[in-house]
Structure formats: structure tokens, C-alpha cells
Structure 1
């Protein structure tokens, strides 16, 4: 017989005396939230990759800060995304992946520069940014899939294009070229740096590089590639349009944050995984915004902000393949500190805009992910009724 404090159950599966039912709805919600927010997958040489990416970001940012050219920080930041690719690959594969991803990023940055400079009176209209960013999202998703780059998807390219094109004041083009090109080359060099150690050295001759660069897709892969690219056309367009319309009505900006959040659920190996990523994006953003509010209240000096950005980048790379919620807690202050470093913006407005735009984008992205499954269920039920 159980004691008075035991969890003796009733016939309907509940508990008497206020005992906790490990199979009840609260327990199910608790397990779901734990899986969503705190369960961590196995590591895969994360410290080495995180150090490479953090170094590729810190050195350019520190340089522009020392030179008093914080207006160039955003360009160094996006060019440093080169180092994110090929994180666990042999040197020849990493070099090819980073070269391709980095050159694509350079092309996107200068396409954004072109769009911005076509509007001499300031940044393009929010609707022009939505159209341009949607096209970049779709095209880059096709290129990234064709090259089998990892991380998959076009999230980084969306972010870079929209953020650069929306800058109200563009620095001299020559300075942008120097910062972007030097950061790109630096990241390639850091990606190969471990070859100085004989124990980490892998073949890097031209035949190996050519072999690593060959990517052949079968007919089924090409069909999947084109089908998945539709999501990168639909989700950013809807999210961007919704964020722009709501922003114009309520008086806030940064519509591209909604477009970035909308493509997050599109990457994943199952519908559940993709939906979870959308939820993790919102929850991680909320916690990250609280962290950023505390940092902004201290009004750190630019060199402190450079160190914080680097620390957030290191943390994000340590966690991004293991726990997306915790990674987003690092990514949110990383992105907004970079904005604060490059431009004198009200932190309160950034916090407000980031939350609303992320929520809009995540909802749109999840709905786009669920739409094909919902359509199949609807079509199946309709066929059953007819038969």
C-alpha cells in the first residue's frame, strides 16, 4: 500500500492527493520543453570549429575598431561567415566549401551595395528590400543545395543582402572592397591553419581539391532541390510583406528579420524538427533579447562590444549543431551588438523590432512547413469521401 504522499492513481489516469502524474499533460509539456530548450546533442569537434570562426570574426572587427571605421564592421561581420562552412571536413573539402560560400557571400554583399547605391537619397524602400531579398533567398538556396554546402539554406545570404542594402549611409566602395576581400582571404587561411600540425594535416594537392569540388546530383536530388527552393521563395516573401505592412501600421522597421526567421524552419530532416526550429528561434530570441538589454544598459565601449560579439559567435558555433535554442540565445545579441556597433541606434527600438519581426517570420515559416502535409491530408480525406 502506498503512503499518503504517494501517487495513487484514479481510474481516469489522474492522481489523488495532488500527486504528480508522470504521464499527465503537464509532464508531457515539461518533457517537450526540456527537449526543445535544454537537451544537448553530442559534440563533433566543436571547440576547434568555434575557435576558427571566432578568430575570423574578431581580427577584422578589432582592426576596423582600431582604425576608427566602425561603419565597416557590418561588412567584416558578413564576410566572416565564410568561416562557418566546412567546419568538420578535411582541409581540401573545407577549402572548396569556404571558397564557394565566401565568394557567394561577396557577390551578395556587392549586389546589396548596388541596390543601395541606386537610391542616392537613402536606403531602398522596405518593399524593394522585400523583393530583392526574396530573390536572393531563392537563388542562393538553389546554389547552396547544388554545391551541398553546410550549413544548408540561404539564411546568411538573406541576412547579409537585406542588412547591407538597408544601410542609410554607405561607406566608400573601395573601403568596402578591401574589408570584404581581406576578411574572406583571412577566413580561408584560418581554415587551413591546422595543417601546420603534422597530426592534423590532410592532402591538399590540386587533384584532391578538384575531386572535392566535383558535385554530381541525381535526378531525384535535383527535383527535391527545386521543390524545396519554393519554400525559400514563398516564406520570405510572405514574412517580409507581413512585417512591412505591420511595421508601417505600427511604426517599426527591420522587416528583413522576419524574412530571416521565416527560412529557419525550412532546414531540417523532418517536419517535427523543422517546426521545433521555428519555436526554438522565437524562444531563444526572447532570452537573447533579455541578455542584450542587460548589456545595452551598461553602455559598453566599442572594444568591449567587439569582445562580446566574438564571445557570442564562439558560443553560437559551440551550440548550433547541438541545441538550437541555446545557440539562438547567443545569436540574438551577436546580431544586434553588430548593429549597435556599426550604427548609433536606440537599443529599445531594436529589441522591440527584433521580437515582433522574429515572431512574424517564425509563424510564417512554420505554416509554410506544415502546408504540404496539411494539403496531403486534405486531399486524402477528399478522395475517401468521393470513394
Structure 2
């Protein structure tokens, strides 16, 4: 056959240095190609991306025009409402986004109240670790019980820690108003496509009540509680490690490590979860390079709002198809939101983001691998005993 390799003396294919199909270099190459460039099929991602981008752009633009960027963080996190119910019918999407939005509003309110009653007006590093770990576990249980997608409590970790660590809290009434108004806007955007006859799906009260009911089977509940352990362990270890190392090396934002630690906890297989951890780190590196270029231009607040919306659009276009490329958008999205509110040295943010992400992703991957490694370790004594008995026979 044309192009076929000559077999070796034994009749097996000749070794080609690991580049043949199944060779170690080929396996590594395919893994990296899939990790960095493999893109899943499109599923009307632009619809969800437009909704999510509009949900964050309109509130931030309004706050910019009103010169109330101190409220931007509350609007930004409430806008996470719009990323839920991605490809669901309008009835189900409205229920899903209502649940997700109310949960996020509860997290935001808990964070700002915790900060206001803390010494100094904000939670300290160790307070952030304790409080955010509780939120991570509790929200993972609620999200799982409601079967919300995206799964997990990543957004809730980010929201609670960022708001609770704010050194200067705006008036509570204004903060709540900004968050609730953004939540309501996202709900409206979520069903806005019903005005198009070709995209209209039923939206009746009986159907709404049916969509609101969620019943988990016994096996689903068992899996939910088992997986919630990861959301207790991974953020706690990552937050403690980032706080301890940060105190020694002089960097902050320990909650970024807690966010990165839960990324590998979502996935349909161990391989997929480990891949997500690697993609988080590699995507962050490329995203930080992109942010460095943006920061060098020193964009005006309105331009930063446009860039935030563009990054949100890009992230939603890619998040379900290629996590590495999505992180290239997510990283500048998160840090531009920080720079919009706080006058912070961009270089320090880049430094902190990379180290915290690396710490968190490594711990998250370790938590994912720990159960299988433990099971293998328990099998080793039994195998050695079996080998010993076989030798005696």
C-alpha cells in the first residue's frame, strides 16, 4: 500500500521514534492538540454570548455614565444570571435564571454584610478563606440540587470573596439596587428573543410550575453529596496555601486560587477534569499577555466597559467548546473588571493572577486524583499478599 511503513523482522510495524500512531510522542501531541486547539461542535453559542455580553455591558455603561463605578462589582456579579439556561426553552430558562440570580443575589448580600460587620470594613485573608469555603460548599449543594448549568460554585466563590474583601463598601441600598436591577435586566434579556415568532417557545404558568419542580433520585443525591466534599476541601486547601505563600512572597488575591481550585471539579471524567485544570493555567498565561497589551494602552472607563463586554462575548462563544481559548477571554475579563473599579497596579494583578491560578489549579487536580490514587494504594498490599502466597505455592 502506498505510504505504508515496512514491517520489522518480526512482522510488527517498525519503530519510528514514537511518531507512529499510538507512540508516546504521538499520544502527547494529540493530547496537547486536543487540550489547546480541539474545538467542540457549535450549538447556537452566539445567542447565549449576545445575551451574556448585553447583560454586563448595559449595567456597566449606565454606571459609567452616572459616575458610579463603585457599584460596578455588584452589577458585574449579578450579571452572571445571564449565563445560565444557555440553550433551554424560554420557560425553563426563566426558571433557571431566576434560581441562579436569586442565589447570586444572596451571595452578594451575604458578602457585603459580612464585610460591613468585620473589623476594618472588609474580611481579612484568613476570613476570606473560611467564609468563601463555606459559600463554595453550600452553593455547590444548592446548584447541584437545582441542576443548574454551569455546574459548581465557581461564580459564587468569586463573587463572595471579591465583594467581602472590598476595602470601601458603597451604601448598602445602592449596592443592592445595582445588583437587583442587573438581575431583572438579565431575566428580561433571557426571554427577549420571544418577540421573534420563529424563536418563540411556550411561557405559561402551569409549565412554569412544572419547570420549577426538581426531584433528585437517590443515586443523584448520593453523587451530589460526594462531589460537594471536593468543594469543601479544594477551596480550603488552595486558599490556605495561597494565603500562607502570599504572606511569605508578598502577593494577594488568595481567592483567585480558590476559584482555580474548583475548575477541575467539573467534568465527565478524570481525564477531562485534569485537562480543565491545565487549560485554566495555560489560558491564564495567554490571557495575561493579552491584558498586559490592553493595560499598556491605558483605556478610558467607557473603553474598558466595551472590552469587558467583548471578552464576555468571546468567553461564552468558547466556554462550552474549548476551555483553554475561553480562558484567554476570561482572564482579561476578570482583571479589567478589577481595574475598572480599583486603581491598582496592573503588573501586580498579572503577578498575583498567575501564581494564585497555578496554586489553585494544582490543588484542584490533586483533589480530583486523590480518590483514584488512594484506591490504587489500598490495592497494593492485597496484590503483594497474593504474589507472596503464589510464591509459597
TM class, shorter-length? over 0.9
Give 1:189 shift: 0.3
Work out the CA distance in 1 between the residues paired with 2:370 and 2:8.
40
Indicate the residue corresponding to 1:118 in structure 2.
117
Indicate the residue corresponding to 2:391 in structure 1.
none
Q: How many residues align?
A: 383
Q: Per the alignment, in what secondary structure is the counterpart of residue 120 of structure 2?
A: coil
Name segments (4+ residues, structure 1) moved above 6 Å: 6-12
**Contact 1:130/1:241 (8 A) holds in 2:** yes
- 1:1-387 equivalent positions in 2, closer than 5 A: 14-15=15-16, 21=20, 23-387=22-386
Give 1:24 shift: 4.2
Work out the CA distance in 2 between the residues paired with 1:31 and 1:325.
15
Q: Per the alignment, in what secondary structure is the counterpart of residue 109 of structure 2?
A: helix
Give 1:13 shift: 5.2
Work out the CA distance in 1 between the residues paired with 2:108 and 2:288.
27
Q: Per the alignment, in what secondary structure is the counterpart of residue 121 of structure 1?
A: helix
**Contact 1:7/1:21 (8 A) holds in 2:** no
**Contact 2:6/2:14 (8 A) holds in 1:** no
> More deviation in 235-244 or 373-382?
373-382
1:70-100, CA deviations, whole angstroms, 9 ceiling, x for partnerless residues?
1111111100000000010011100010000
Give 1:292 shift: 0.3
Work out the CA distance in 2 between the residues paired with 1:108 and 1:357.
22
Work out the CA distance in 2 between the residues paired with 1:173 and 1:2.
74
Q: Per the alignment, in what secondary structure is the counterpart of residue 341 of structure 1?
A: helix
**Contact 2:5/2:14 (8 A) holds in 1:** no
Gaps of 5+ in 1: none
CA-atom RMSD, angstroms?
1.9
Give 1:33 shift: 0.9
Work out the CA distance in 2 between the residues paired with 1:267 and 1:47.
23
Work out the CA distance in 1 between the residues paired with 2:361 and 2:35.
15
- After TM superposition, the score normalised by the length of structure 1 is 0.95
Work out the CA distance in 2 between the residues paired with 1:238 and 1:355.
18
Work out the CA distance in 2 between the residues paired with 1:53 and 1:143.
22
1:131-170, CA deviations, whole angstroms, 9 ceiling, x for partnerless residues?
0000000000000000000000000000000000011111
Give 1:30 shift: 1.9
- After TM superposition, the score normalised by the length of structure 2 is 0.94
Work out the CA distance in 2 between the residues paired with 1:88 and 1:243.
36
Work out the CA distance in 1 between the residues paired with 2:278 and 2:371.
19
**Contact 1:7/1:20 (8 A) holds in 2:** no
Give 1:384 shift: 2.8
**Contact 1:8/1:15 (8 A) holds in 2:** no
Give 1:22 shift: 5.6
Give 1:121 shift: 1.8
